[in-house]
Amino acid sequence: MRGYYYDQTGPDPREPGTNTGSGRPRPRRVALRTAVLFLCALAVLTAGTVALWAAHGQIRLDLDRWSAEGAAQPTQTQSQTTVEETTVERAPTGDGTTLTIAPLPQEPAHSLQQIYEENIASIVSIRGIKQSSMNLGTGVVMSEDGYIITNSHVIEGCSAVDVVLQDDSVHHALLVGRDAQTDLAVLKIEADDLSPAQFGDSALLRVGDTVAAIGNPLGEELRGTMTDGIISAINRDVNVDGYTMALIQTTAALNSGNSGGALINDHGQVVGITNLKMQSYDNTVEGLGFAIPTATVKTVVDALIAEGVVSGRPSLGITGYTVTQAEQEQYGMPAGVCVASVEEGSDARSQGVLPGDVIVAANGERVESMEQLLAIKEQMQVGQSITLRLWRQGAYLERDVTLVEQYTLQP
């Protein structure tokens, strides 16, 4: 489970610093501003560590990192380490399987005991295996023949993935596909007669509806834990690593390890895949968890099963932030979007766009905010070029950048 941290301090905008996001704009590829790395150990489970970022006026999150040896693994800034390449064996795609969204039953609400009994067999443990550590998360059984839904960040950087069913059997999983922007992944195991969850329509949710979450908080020792709460907000826009996600907000307690688990309505239907929670250094934050709505899950999962990727999303391959008035006055920066990082493999990097550059215009249109830049980019298609006017240490220059497929840049 990813956790947010708020912090009122931020880095010097002239020092682009560290950015571990995939350059989203996790939908649009101009992201949050530069972040400072903090490491927080979970006292409840000695093997657990969670890497958390604090950003200036923003929220940052990172994936669950659990030690395979039972000791906390050191975390370094991006400038000191390389990301392990994901080499999980791929499953074939295009078998015609799709996610079914069932209508809301015309019957009384189920008790919490009923909801648990109806869903617990559909909740699995995910073990993402790395070179010297392991990611532990949760997954939801989608089909009898072994399709499993989880979060992309649970398996990011892993070389192999195992799925543990409720009967304790361990199954090697193949990767069907994953999408960093929506934080979803689909796995496939060789199994028959699994107990798939029933998925419901997230569009029917209303603030105040009762929900339950089932997952594996803090790892497998506490697997199959259920918490309950209400829907506290719908279509909450949350910026994660530069991607804007429209999420369900809930008061149901979520913790590290719940990532990829189920958010369930009062009729026992899965209406969301849990992925985030909010935390604070100096304030107690309770009851602020988030889940990916099934409206998003169906679109992405169907695309991943069909093609292995979600295509058709143009990306500049940069992350950045809107230059504030105070920064303009203090550092002599012009209004625009300051580049925080440039993705490897992007045409922006090939064309020499650098962290610290300020984008002041795109295709001849003045750019004074990240939203304006995104609006221009999203009118374009993959393969088209966008002309950027950049400010760099007092000088102006232009670069023509070809938009690339978003999925080609995800870690």
Last residue of one domain, picked from the residues 61, 80, 99: 80
Q: Is residue 173 part of a domain?
A: no
Q: Is residue 294 part of a domain?
A: no
Q: What range defines the domain where residue 379 resides?
A: 314-409
Q: Is residue 158 part of a domain?
A: no
Chain segment 326-364, per-residue pLDDT in tens: 999 999 999 999 999 999 999 999 999 999 999 999 999
Least confident interval from 174-183, 235-244, 285-294, 386-395 = 235-244
Residues 265/203, Cβ–Cβ less than 8 Å:
no
Last residue of one domain, picked from the residues 80, 101, 126: 80
Q: Is residue 366 part of a domain?
A: yes
**pLDDT tier at 152 (50, 70, 90 boundaries)?**
very high
Q: What is the pLDDT of residue 31?
A: 32
Question: At 331, which CATH number?
Answer: 2.30.42.10
Residues 183/244, Cβ–Cβ less than 8 Å:
no
Residues 26/241, Cβ–Cβ less than 8 Å:
yes
Does 51 have pLDDT greater than 90? no
Strands (E), 142-298: 147-150, 160-164, 170-179, 184-189, 210-215, 225-240, 243-250, 262-264, 270-278, 289-293
Catalytic residue among 64, 162, 183, 209: 183
Last residue of one domain, picked from the residues 35, 59, 80: 80
Q: Is residue 367 part of a domain?
A: yes
Range 199-213 average pLDDT: 98
Catalytic residue among 153, 171, 202, 347: 153
> DSSP readout, 92-149?
P--S---PPBPPPPSSPPPPHHHHHHHHGGGEEEEEEE-SS-EEEEEEEE--TTSEEE
Range 206-211 average pLDDT: 98
**pLDDT tier at 3 (50, 70, 90 boundaries)?**
low
Reference 324, options 8, 31, 17, 57; nearest CA is: 57
Does 82 have pLDDT greater than 60? no
If one compares 206 and 35, the residue with the highest pLDDT of the two is: 206
**Which residue carries 């803090």 as its tokens?**
218
The verdict on whether 192 is a catalytic residue reads no
Distance (Å, whole) CA 202 – CA 346? 35
Query: Other CB atoms closer than 10 Å to residue 285's CB: what's the count?
Result: 14
If one compares 69 and 41, the residue with the highest pLDDT of the two is: 69
**pLDDT tier at 205 (50, 70, 90 boundaries)?**
very high
The verdict on whether 315 is a catalytic residue reads no
Catalytic residue among 133, 202, 259, 315: 259
Bridge partners, residue 139, by sequence:
124
Q: What is the pLDDT of residue 8?
A: 32
Half-sphere exposure of 377 (CA within 13 A, CB side): 31
Chain segment 106-119, per-residue pLDDT in tens: 999 999 999 999 99
| Pairing outcome for strands 270-278 and 262-264 | antiparallel
Q: Is residue 370 part of a domain?
A: yes
Range 217-235 average pLDDT: 94
Q: What is the pLDDT of residue 231?
A: 98
Does 20 have pLDDT greater than 70? no
| Pairing outcome for strands 337-342 and 318-322 | antiparallel
Q: Which two tokens stand for residue 334?
A: 């012009």
Does 49 have pLDDT greater than 80? no
Q: Is residue 93 part of a domain?
A: no
Q: What is the pLDDT of residue 2?
A: 63
Reference 178, options 91, 81, 289; nearest CA is: 91
Does 143 have pLDDT greater than 80? yes
Query: Which residues touch 350 (CB under 8 Å, ≥6 apart)?
Result: none
Chain segment 227-275, per-residue pLDDT in tens: 999 999 999 998 777 678 999 999 999 998 999 999 999 999 999 999 9
Does 65 have pLDDT greater than 60? no
Q: Is residue 88 part of a domain?
A: no
Does 36 have pLDDT greater than 60? no
Q: What is the pLDDT of residue 243?
A: 76
Range 178-193 average pLDDT: 95
Q: What is the pLDDT of residue 86?
A: 52
Q: What is the pLDDT of residue 122?
A: 98
Distance (Å, whole) CA 71 – CA 369? 43
Chain segment 283-320, per-residue pLDDT in tens: 767 889 999 999 999 999 999 999 999 999 999 999 88
Does 380 have pLDDT greater than 80? yes
**Percent of the chain with pLDDT strictly greater than 90:** 68
Count of the separate structural domains present in the chain: 2
The verdict on whether 385 is a catalytic residue reads no
